[in-house]
Structure 1
Amino acid sequence: MIDRIIWIILDSVGMGELPDAHKFGDQGSNTIGNISKMVGGLNVPNLVSLGLGNIEGMIGLPKTEKPLGCFGRFGEISNGKDTVTGHWEMAGVFSEKPFPTYPNGFPKEIIEAFEKAIGTKTLGNKPASGTEILEELGEEHLRTGYPIVYTSADSVFQIAAHEEVIPIEKLYEICSIARDLLVGEHAVARVIARPFIGKKAGSFTRTPNRRDYALAPPHDTILDKIKDKNLDVIAVGKIEDIFSGRGITEAVHTQDNMDGVNKTIQYMKQNNRGLIFTNLVDFDMKWGHRNDYKAYAQGLEEFDKRLPEILDAMGENDVLMINADHGCDPTTPSTDHSREYVPFIAYGKKLNQNVDLKTRRTFADIGQTIGEILGTDRIKNGESFAKEILKKN
């Protein structure tokens, strides 16, 4: 009997374009493969030992003769390539209609309603890189006190504010106001608080106090099913935000990837049963969107060095699952997410070794498998592969 699943999302660590990548402008994207090529090879021996290099279609990593884990690659059938779409699909929700995006900024009626609700004007209102817009508008924000509103290729309404000009709790409050306004045809996937510090252009830096305000999933996910079974659903990192708090029994936010690993291990050492669900966002937020392939490679190698600690903290009845939610290839000209397959590996004392799951159609198969392993009701979408990976009693 499996008591607990530790599910770690390496945010944006994709492994090659999906067949429909051309519809998203992502031909040639391969986050792992292209990074490995650019840095002359990735040093991730612990992930390789579990079978990461053996996944069908994997480029840039060596195969191992006898993988210790189960491995495969998963396609996305939802219409999108963002964090919410990816996480929702792996938890059982297909997003057939894409979330709205705003390549020309938000319409006048949205901005005017937002400014009226918060009692102040705003700056920006255009698509921009988060770091670049601080350089452009940060000093004007310091002078006026007006929050900076911007978006990206994703379905996001982002609000940047200096922590000494608009205190964090006030920023969170105005983000909640924006979330309440952005409904119907303008129901963006996420409103994101982007606090920063610094005295002038060139010194502005975003702080770890980011907060995401996502739409609530349209129906039950695997998190709801696990919670309904009176098991723990512990969210580490931005998982709580992605699911709008739904189906979660305990949550903690993190400062960075290594803090996320630390908090995951802390929870693993506690007496809980059910799911520990972790998102490590630095791959995406700090390195993917900024096209910093060298730091991205270092981040993958840093995670790999921590993997033995995670394995050592596992109990006899624990299962570890690691996968991504989309791609964000830092070697391409685009700074946006990329429509890619995601790698998947699983390991545990109660799992078979060297199981090749090959290519599966949807991320939702992971959530369905988790449900079967933990004995929950089925989720709406996905096919379980539990029988392929579980040892027979």
Structure 2
Amino acid sequence: MINRVIWIVLDSVGMGALPDAEKYGDAGSNTIGNISKALGGLHLPNMEKLGLGHIDGMIGINKTENPIGCYGRFAEKSEGKDTTTGHWEMAGVCLETAFPTYPNGFPEEIITAFEKEIGTKIIGNKPASGTAIIEELGKEHIKTGYPIVYTSADSVFQIAAHEEIISTNRLYEMCKIARKILQGEHGVARIIARPFIGKPGNFTRTANRRDFSLTPPYNTLLDNLKNADLNVIGVGKIEDIFSGQGITEAIHTKNNMDGVDQTLNYMKQDKKGLIFTNLVDFDMKWGHRNNVKAYAQGLADFDKRLPEIFDTMKDTDILFITADHGCDPTMPGTDHSREYVPFLAYGKPLEKNINLGTRTTFADMGQTVAEIFHVEPVKHGNSFLKEIIKK
């Protein structure tokens, strides 16, 4: 019997370019493999025990005899390579059309409407690295009080503001206004609040980031679990990604280790259902910043916490570990990469050393969780529960 699924998303930890990666400018991307190659290897003993090195196509990770977990790799069926698309697909929503992107900045009608609603002008309005644009425009922002608006290769409308110039609550209000404007044709996946502190030449982004996503177009796994009176606990930015839909309880986190701590806190409680955790530092702090060494250290730091997770698991718990896209820090540019994602599963109710091979959609994960809890199936995907459950 399975009473609870602990599902941890290592944000951006991809494992090799998808067949259509060239269309996205991502040929040759391989977040795990290229990091390992750049550093002469990665040592992740606990994920290796689960079978990480045995996944189809995995390079740069040691294989271990008799893995104790189930393992596989998953392709993204939806168009896109962003956080919202990946998480929604895991929960059963596959997008046939990618969210809109703005490589030349947002059109005048969007900016004019936004400035009118917030009662002030903006600066920026171009694609940029988040750390670079606050260094470029931070001084002007402090002088004028105008928020910095920018985007990236992803479907995002980002608003950066110094916490002493525009309070975080006011920044969140601006994001909500932008969310109301950016619908339909201009319905970007996420509006992101990017608060920062410091002085010119030494600005630092804070942990008060918030994401304001579109609402999923139809019920996800989370809705189906909630409708069946099961707990759906979001740790990190899960609540934001799903715009609060299908969530029964949520907590935002400061960093990866806080995310692990909060997950462990919830695991010590006795609540049937899903604990859904996103660990964002891989993506936000290291992937987008092309910081190969820090990314590798982040993987090692998470791996070191796995024994705590194993020891806290109840006999009726199972653990999923996966990712939502890639963000290869060794590649030119700072954008997400269109990659396969690894998948690991572990728990006393599950068989050991089961190779799930290559799956064609992230939605297989959500469909499996739906079958575990005997709730309404999600719209896409095929369950692999029968392949991993103890006979």
TM score, norm. by length of structure 2: 1.00
- State the one-letter code of the partner of 1:210: R
Structure-1 residue corresponding to 2:59: 59
Structure-1 residue corresponding to 2:24: 24
Residues 77-100 of structure 1: CA distance to partner in whole angstroms, max 9, x if unpaired? 100000000000110001111111
- State the one-letter code of the partner of 1:359: T
1:271 deviates by 1.5
1:334 deviates by 2.0
Gaps of 5+ in 2: none
Matches within 5 A, 1:224-243: 224-243=223-242
| Cα distance in 1 between the residues matched to 2:377 and 2:102 | 36
| Cα distance in 2 between the residues matched to 1:39 and 1:51 | 21
Q: SS of the residue aligned with 1:80? A: coil
Matches within 5 A, 1:373-388: 373-388=372-387
Residues 43-99 of structure 1: CA distance to partner in whole angstroms, max 9, x if unpaired? 110000000010010000011110000000000110000000000011000111111
| Cα distance in 1 between the residues matched to 2:155 and 2:290 | 20
Structure-2 residue corresponding to 1:253: 252
Structure-2 residue corresponding to 1:346: 345
Matches within 5 A, 1:1-393: 1-200=1-200, 202-392=201-391
- State the one-letter code of the partner of 1:172: Y
Q: Percent identity?
A: 71
- State the one-letter code of the partner of 1:336: D
- State the one-letter code of the partner of 1:146: Y
Q: SS of the residue aligned with 1:161? A: strand
- State the one-letter code of the partner of 1:293: V
Q: SS of the residue aligned with 2:342? A: strand
- State the one-letter code of the partner of 1:62: N
- State the one-letter code of the partner of 1:205: T
| Cα distance in 2 between the residues matched to 1:306 and 1:65 | 22
- State the one-letter code of the partner of 2:93: V
- State the one-letter code of the partner of 1:199: K
- State the one-letter code of the partner of 1:75: A
| Cα distance in 2 between the residues matched to 1:183 and 1:265 | 37
| Cα distance in 2 between the residues matched to 1:230 and 1:261 | 25
Residues 330-356 of structure 1: CA distance to partner in whole angstroms, max 9, x if unpaired? 001121000000000000001000000
| Cα distance in 2 between the residues matched to 1:56 and 1:99 | 29
Residues 29-50 of structure 1: CA distance to partner in whole angstroms, max 9, x if unpaired? 0000000011111111000000
* Cα pair 2:325 2:340 within 8 Å, conserved: yes
1:184 deviates by 1.4
Gaps of 5+ in 1: none
* Cα pair 2:213 2:242 within 8 Å, conserved: yes
* Cα pair 2:364 2:384 within 8 Å, conserved: yes
- State the one-letter code of the partner of 1:305: K
> How many residues align structurally?
391
Residues 176-234 of structure 1: CA distance to partner in whole angstroms, max 9, x if unpaired? 0000000111110000000000022x210100000000000000110011111101000
* 205-214 or 368-377, which deviates more: 368-377
| Cα distance in 1 between the residues matched to 2:359 and 2:270 | 33
- State the one-letter code of the partner of 1:168: T
| Cα distance in 2 between the residues matched to 1:316 and 1:184 | 46
- State the one-letter code of the partner of 2:328: D
Q: SS of the residue aligned with 1:204? A: strand
* Cα pair 2:43 2:62 within 8 Å, conserved: no
| Cα distance in 2 between the residues matched to 1:290 and 1:78 | 26
- State the one-letter code of the partner of 1:271: D
* Cα pair 2:8 2:321 within 8 Å, conserved: yes
Q: SS of the residue aligned with 1:198? A: strand
User: Which 4+ residue blocks in structure 1 deviate beyond 2 angstroms?
Assistant: none
